[in-house]
Amino acid sequence: MEIFPLVDEKGLVIGKASREICHNGSKPLHPVVHLHVFDAMGRLFLQKRSMLKDIQPGKWDTSIGGHVLYGETIEEALRRESREELGLETFQAVFVDSYVFESEIERELVHIYQTIFSGTLHPDEEELDGGAFFSFSEIESLISRGVVTPNFASEFKKYKQALLNNFFTEDL
């Protein structure tokens, strides 16, 4: 059974709860990590969520995303999720921002990071149905077609310029 920390909006741990409680509609605030993985050409890797996921199965989503486990730091969770989802071991993560995301069934304190990676990614076949690098215009097309998670769509729209500004000097 996975246990998540419960946090206030500043990220201070105020309790703990199971995954089931965090996803049952009662909406206790719990932390998650997102890592946006860019290639040298400025394309963003999106993962294709497994059809077995309980939330948003089969949709395109953030490169790496996952829950922080109780007793784990944000950085530890970011490294663990990166290994588990894409086999990504060595990378330099740059902090972008944190925000609260609320859906019909949960409420998350999302910690956004990004990195540039030039190696080979190895999507975990049990967690993901693959993934691919996309230009920003291709991502906007995916969003308009409704084939990305609502969380990724809102995050991309809100932070698109910040993601560009951290690494690239011209719009992609």
Q: What is the CATH number of the domain that holds 105?
A: 3.90.79.10
What is the domain range of residue 158?
Answer: 3-167
60 torsion bin: left (phi>0), alpha (psi -120 to 50), beta (else) = beta
**Does residue 158 form part of some domain?**
yes
- pLDDT computed for residue 163 by the predictor: 79
**pTM exceeding 0.75:** yes
Task: State how many domains the chain has.
Answer: 1
Instruction: Tell me if 156 is assigned to some domain.
Output: yes
Question: How long is the chain?
Answer: 172
Decide if 146 is inside a domain. Answer: yes
Q: Is 119 a residue whose pLDDT tops 90? A: no
Contacts of 164 (CB under 8 A, 6+ apart): 42, 136, 171, 172
* Residue 22 clears pLDDT 50, i.e. is over it: yes
**Residue 107 reports pLDDT greater than 70:** yes
What pLDDT, in 10s, does the model give residues 73-105? 999 999 999 999 999 999 999 999 999 999 999
Tell me the two tokens of residue 129: 């149905």
pLDDT at 172 over 50: no
Does residue 172 fall inside a structural domain? no
